[in-house]
Each structure stands twice: as structure tokens, then as C-alpha cells.
Amino acid sequence: METPLYLAVEKGYHDIAVLILVTCKSSSYLGPGNRTALHAAAIRNSPEVELVLQKLPNLTKKVDKFGWNALHYAAKFNHQGVVRQLLSKYKFMAYVTANNDDSMTALHIAVTQGHVAVIKELLLHCPDCWERITYKRQNILHLAVKYEQREVLEFFLQYSWASELINQKDSKGNTPLHLYVATKNLDGNSLVNHPCVDISAFDNSNSTVLDNILHSRELTGRQVLIKEELERAGASPGYRNVGTVKKNLGAPKTEEPEKLESLAGTYLIVATLIATVTFTAGFTIPGGYNDSESPNKGLAVLGNKAIFITFVISDSLAIMISVHAVLHLILLLQSNNHKFKLAMLHGGRASIFMAMILMMIAFLTGLSSVLPMLHIKILLCVLAAIYCYHIPLDLVQFLRNTRCSRYVTMFRHTEADYSWYIGPFRVWVQDLTEEDEFW
């Protein structure tokens, strides 16, 4: 049952909360799940935090049914000011572990959420709170990697004490580097190349980080990139599970390129068809050509119409982008470098998406330019919006996933591994070894 004080704080009724705290000497403070008014104030980032601390300081020791105190919630919801208020007087709160939630402290929770400002505040007031580990014996670096918080990870690795955490093992013997292999989007370059990292550490199954990749029956594109990244940093198989390593060592290298080339072949057909269709449309323009004896003989009849100009621009862009996609895919099929193949595949796919959208625009504008009835033109636009709306959404999602502002492959890597667009030109700047030759 919610008490009046708890409800007033939770609902943001500041005047009522102040009135209760000032006039009632022993006011009740409980809410649902064993939460207190201080929990509610921390969650809501309410101004009542200071007054609750003055009138009911014992609430700093209260935890809810999850074992969380008010600081846990302030850390979770990124309320830096509340964290500062609580720790300025009650530093012990930073060391309280949530007994029912993997024994996490407020710092652990801030790490999982990626709240760097709160992390800085916690370390400012309690400089040694980074030493605490969870019930699974995971430290803050384990959590930063596990929850793929790149900014948090790089922030921690700036400190000298990170060297004491970087090779610590959890209950399964995993170092933070072992957990990196299982991530989907994390850029772990700063972790892999840290001067204190033990890149050949073994887990409880006697596997190194590289072993865990080699043991996979089939490598994903990201795993191939992580494998190359580890090998550049000097990683090697542990050979404590020799039979398993030998069994799987060569398999992924043959299967993965075949899949890429098969997919590239399909994309190449699509890109070629788009280029063919748009090329043909450019010479069979809507409205035809002027045949009369005049200075405009041989020119497009509809050349002065804005909708026709839109057709010409969209059709021209479609053919140029589709040819660009064809070039990407041809380079992919001729290359032996896996990272280069991935980059070309993603570039070709993005170009095909854009060419399809432009081809659709060219079709609609070309058809509309020769239709006399306005309501037919409007109907065409409505039908196109209904049936083709997902194409730009898919393109946006694809560009977001591949972070095309920099020509990445499956995840953000070092700057020397990618290419940039300079005007209409793309510059590839990867530094390849002799084993990674393109051709």
C-alpha cells in the first residue's frame, strides 16, 4: 500500500510532500515493493531528495524487494544530481550490493546503462568503488563489454587501475576480452590493443579468445573481423584443446567467402537489371521528341516541365548509382581479402537500395508527365506510398546498422581500415599485408 508521502513524491506533488515532511514528526514513507519515498524521489529526480534526506536519513539504508537502494535507481535513470546529493553525505550507499540482482552496486548499474556522467560522479565521491565485483565475479570492464558500452569501456581504460581489471576472470574464467567475442556491435579495438591485456588468457574450458572463435562451426562476418583483429595484436591458439581446434580451424575460411560471393552474384544481377532498365528509359523518354521544323527539333517535347526534369534527374542518378553498385560487386568477386569483400558487399547493397528508390521515382514522374488527369496522378502517388513505403525505411535501418558515415563493415574498427567519400569519389585507405592482397 502506498503511503501519502510516497504518493506525493511519486506524483510530483511538491507542496504536499513538503507539508507532510515538515509537519509530521514520524511520517510513513513506504510504497509498493518495499520502496520508500527516497526511492520515489530518486526515480523521479525530484527536488524532495534533499528534504527527505534531512527529515528521514534512515531511508538511505532501506532497500526494496530487488535489494536496490535509492542510489541504484539514480544511477539507472542517469540522475547525476541525485547521485551527487546522496553521496555527498552517505558514501556507504555506493558499496551496497543488490542481493537479489547479481549483487550489483550503483556503479555496475551505471555501467550497464552507459551513463558516463553518473560513473564519473560515483568515482569522484568513492574512488575505490571500481574494485567491487558482481555475484558472477564480473568487474566493471566485464559489464562494459557484455552490455556493449563502448564509451564507458574507453573511459575506464584511460585509468591506470584498469590494468588490475583487464585480465580478471569471472566465475566461468572469462576475461573481458573473452566476452568481446560474443558481442554484436562493440568496437573493442582499445581493449584488444591495451598494453596490459593478456591476449592469450585461458578460460575454465582451457580456451583462449582466439580458440573460442576457431571452435565455431561457422564464422560470421563479424567473427572473421575480430579474428583478424586479434591476430594483428599477436593472438594465437592455445592448443590445450588440440583436437577441437584442428577440427574447425579451416572450415570457416571456405564456407564464409562462398556465401559472400553467392550473395554478391544475386546483387550483381539486380544491379545490372536496374542499370539496363534506367538506361533504356533514358532514350525512350515520355512525350517523345519534337519533330516539327523549329529550333527545338529533336529535343524532348516535355523538356520544360518540372515533373519531366525530375524524371531525368532521378533516372540519371539511378543508372549512375546502379553502375556504382555493379563496380562494387565486381571488385568483391575479384578480391581475396575478406574485409574488403564485406565492405564492397555493404556498399553494393546500399547502392542498390538507393537505385531502386530513384528508379521508382523516375517511373512515377515519367508516367505522370504524360497523364492529363490530376486525380490519376494523385492516385499513382498514393499507391506508390502504400506499397513501397518500406523501401526507404529499410534503407535508413541498413545505413544505421552499418554506420555508413564511415565505410565500416560489421562494426566500427580503426580508421585505417575504411574508406571515405570525398565529393563523388571514394578513397580506400586500408593498409593491407602481403597475405591480404586484393587480387
pLDDT at 390: 60
**Regarding the domain with residue range 253-436, which homologous superfamily does it belong to in the CATH classification?**
Calcium release-activated calcium channel protein Orai (1.20.140.140)
**63 Cβ contact list (under 8 Å, min separation 6):** 34, 69, 96, 98, 99
Quote the distance between the C-alpha of residue 62 and its chain's center.
36
Q: What is the pTM of this model?
A: 0.59
Quote the distance between the C-alpha of residue 392 and its chain's center.
20
**What angle is formed at CA 284 by the lines to CA 282 and CA 289, rounded to 5 degrees?**
105
pLDDT at 395: 56
Give rounded-to-5 percent helix, strand, coil for the chain: 60, 5, 35
- Reading the chain (439 residues) residue by residue, the pLDDT tens digits are 678 898 998 888 888 888 888 887 666 788 888 999 999 999 999 988 988 998 889 999 999 999 999 999 999 999 999 999 999 989 999 999 998 768 999 999 999 999 999 999 999 999 999 999 999 999 999 999 999 999 999 999 999 999 999 999 999 999 999 999 889 889 888 899 999 999 989 999 999 988 888 887 667 778 888 888 888 888 888 887 765 544 444 444 444 567 778 888 889 999 999 999 888 887 777 766 666 666 666 566 666 678 778 888 888 899 999 999 998 888 888 887 777 888 888 888 888 988 888 888 888 877 777 777 776 667 767 766 666 656 656 656 555 554 433 333 333 333 333 343 333 334 444 433 333 433 3
**What are the residue ranges of CATH 1.20.140.140 in the chain?**
253-436
**126 Cβ contact list (under 8 Å, min separation 6):** 87, 91, 94, 95
Distances (CA, A) of 283 to 280, 287, 289, 296: 6, 11, 10, 17
The CATH architecture assigned to 1-135 reads: Alpha Horseshoe (1.25)
pLDDT at 405: 34
133, 141 contact by CB (below 8 A):
no
pLDDT at 257: 64
CA dihedral 276, 277, 278, 281 (to 10 degrees): 120
Other CB atoms within a 10 A radius of the CB of residue 62 amount to 18
Matching CATH number, 164-249, of 1.25.40.20, 3.40.640.10, 3.40.50.300, 1.10.3720.10: 1.25.40.20
Taken in order 226, 228, 234, 235, the sign of the CA dihedral is positive
83, 75 contact by CB (below 8 A):
yes
Phi, psi of 425 (to 5 degrees): -105, 150
